[in-house]
Structure 1
Amino acid sequence: MCSRPNLCGIVLECIFVSQKKDDSSNTGENGSIDVIEQLELQEVATYNCREVDLVRQMTIVTIEEAKRRLSLLEGEELPLPELIGKCSLLSTEQISKLICHLPPRVEGYSWALIYSTYEHGFSLKTLYRSMNGYDSPVLLIIKDSKDNLFGALISTPIRVSDHYYGTGETFLYNLTPEFKKYSWTGSNNFFVKGDFDSLAIGGGDGYFGLWLDGDIYHGNSHPCQTFNNDCLSEHEDFVVEGLEAWGFV
């Protein structure tokens, strides 16, 4: 199990807050923050700009959802999720590491297996079709032929698109040799884009953080501006041994 890092970045605040680097607290026009109990701030990413040093993106949720998340914060550890489907790639310890870094809005939900190469074969088209009926972030888990484990958390269901889509919740990660998360840098919005021939996550200067071909068999990984990530696999080009996509229900 993992401990919660500083309430997982959730606080109740007003809709938009700016913070100077040399100021340890957020202040509004009157030197204080107006607290609105019905709104919940979720820190998605930070980036530099001329007007302010840090910009936070807010998410409005229902009162019931806010209460659910706050009730989860009362414990010191996150419980393991209920798995709806067989997880063939991760150990219990690896799942415990991952759940500490998932978006707060999916904490406490069950994991539902949407797609697995072990059950559905190697096909990007099948992966897209499997997303029908889901409306949650998607956790991609990949194991390559060298037994490296890595993947991505995508803020929305995966779909075919001519343009990049997604939000700053999206991130890349490594599970081997140790866990490492690569969050959005704010440099661009190249989160996810895919057609029937390939799926790309993260980009910039012609490189993708994670790329898969139409057969979900060959892939590559490069450092990219979106996530400032290392190469996720042992080598830039890799062969997929297995892939799973999980949703949250």
Structure 2
Amino acid sequence: MNPFYRASEPNEDSKQPRKRPSFFNKILTGKSRSASPSASPPPVVPEPQSSSEQYGDENTDERPIKLHGYKPNTKRRLMDEELANNIRNLMPPRLQLYDDWDLVYDFEQDGISLNTLYRNSNPEYQLQKQKNEKQSKGYGDGVVKSMIVGDIQSSTTTSFYGLERKRPQGYVMVIQDEKRNKFGCYLNTNLRAVDNKRYYGNGECFLWKLEKYDASKLNHEKDSKKVPKHKPRYESRFKAFMYTGMNDNIIFSNHDFIAIGSSNGQNGLWIDKSLYKGVSYPCTTFGNEILNLHNSDSSTKLGTFKVIDLEVWRVGALE
């Protein structure tokens, strides 16, 4: 052996053993034993689907409204599902969730009386009536529980009637006159006799009417001579008049009349204390048309009517 021969010392890298990648490093880098040296393409991430694609369109459909309160022998019924849906679409979103509407006042079932209308529209009276109905059906335990809760609420409440309403409520008035015109209003609170000569209600209120029109005149022919003549075929369409913000004269009611909307001493809807005579003017509160007239009567400045039937509905739970 050559005495001058000297073995080359290994460098520092060769001294340390090569580390194998850990299992987690393989996952993070996307490498495995069977992976090829070339970089593998990133995994394909599927695009998120919308809720309608996952579950269908059934969640977007409106749930049907259930009308409660008509007696089996009630002949005149002003409210129907189509009208209720049209009104619900313009109500505050928090009230659109309620599918159950309750009839609180009706000419045929409750008699014609302004005081009865105010009494039945009182949520405290409605709650007590609901308790009595449950008690008559044998729900004694539920009545006792509700009475205890009611006592606790009445001691801490600050509401107008001494009743703390946990859930929102709205009220719909439907009127039919002697010409079978149908119109009314939506109110954010119940009607009541107010003696302080002040208006109440908020901008959620609106007036509405079902306008009659001749459907046989709806055509798209340019040459009227080619259009065959048809007999008038009258149908109705829903029209609403929302709060404009021009004034705050929304609701005024006492023992002599009910007035909804007012400007220059003229009301959008006015009914006397007998619940028989009424009048409708255009008013700036709602920018409304005359409720009991139609397009053909647009030249008229006011509309007087006689109330043949009237209903008041509550939307929202009492407790």
Which range, TM-score by smaller chain?
0.5 to 0.7
Mapping for residues 59-208 of structure 1, pairs under 5 Å: 75-86=59-70, 88-109=77-98, 110-132=100-122, 133=124, 136-161=169-194, 162-177=197-212, 178-208=237-267
Q: CA deviation at 1:74?
A: 8.4
2-structure distance, mates of 1:207, 1:107: 31
2-structure distance, mates of 1:118, 1:144: 15
2-structure distance, mates of 1:85, 1:145: 24
Q: CA deviation at 1:206?
A: 0.8
SS of residue in 1 equivalent to 2:85: helix
1:64 counterpart residue number: none
Mapping for residues 30-41 of structure 1, pairs under 5 Å: none
**Paired AA for residue 84 in structure 1:** H
Are the aligned partners of 1:78 and 1:100 in contact in 2 as well (CA < 8 Å)?
Answer: no
Consecutive unaligned residues of structure 1, counting only runs of 5 or more, are 1-72
Percent identity of paired positions between Structure 1 and Structure 2: 36
Are the aligned partners of 1:138 and 1:157 in contact in 2 as well (CA < 8 Å)?
Answer: yes
Consecutive unaligned residues of structure 2, counting only runs of 5 or more, are 1-56, 71-75, 127-164, 213-236, 294-301
Q: CA deviation at 1:241?
A: 1.0
Could you list the per-position Cα deviations for residues 121-162 of structure 1 after superposition, in whole angstroms to 9, with x for gaps in the alignment?
A: 111111111122266211001111111111000111111122
Q: CA deviation at 1:82?
A: 1.8
Are the aligned partners of 2:65 and 2:81 in contact in 1 as well (CA < 8 Å)?
Answer: no
2-structure distance, mates of 1:107, 1:90: 17
**Paired AA for residue 96 in structure 1:** N
2-structure distance, mates of 1:153, 1:104: 14
1-structure distance, mates of 2:191, 2:267: 16
Q: CA deviation at 1:224?
A: 0.5
Could you list the per-position Cα deviations for residues 73-95 of structure 1 after superposition, in whole angstroms to 9, with x for gaps in the alignment?
A: 98323222222212810333222
2:304 counterpart residue number: 237
2-structure distance, mates of 1:84, 1:78: 18
Greater CA drift, 86-95 or 121-130: 86-95
Are the aligned partners of 1:81 and 1:108 in contact in 2 as well (CA < 8 Å)?
Answer: no
**Paired AA for residue 108 in structure 1:** L
Give the TM-score normalised by structure 2: 0.53
SS of residue in 1 equivalent to 2:262: coil
Greater CA drift, 233-242 or 129-138: 129-138
1-structure distance, mates of 2:108, 2:198: 30
Are the aligned partners of 1:78 and 1:99 in contact in 2 as well (CA < 8 Å)?
Answer: no
1-structure distance, mates of 2:281, 2:261: 9
1-structure distance, mates of 2:204, 2:59: 23
2-structure distance, mates of 1:120, 1:231: 28
Could you list the per-position Cα deviations for residues 19-72 of structure 1 after superposition, in whole angstroms to 9, with x for gaps in the alignment?
A: xxxxxxxxxxxxxxxxxxxxxxxxxxxxxxxxxxxxxxxxxxxxxxxxxxxxxx
1-structure distance, mates of 2:88, 2:210: 12
**Paired AA for residue 126 in structure 1:** T
SS of residue in 2 equivalent to 1:130: helix
SS of residue in 1 equivalent to 2:108: helix
SS of residue in 1 equivalent to 2:190: coil
2-structure distance, mates of 1:240, 1:98: 21
- Highest Rg: 1 or 2? 2
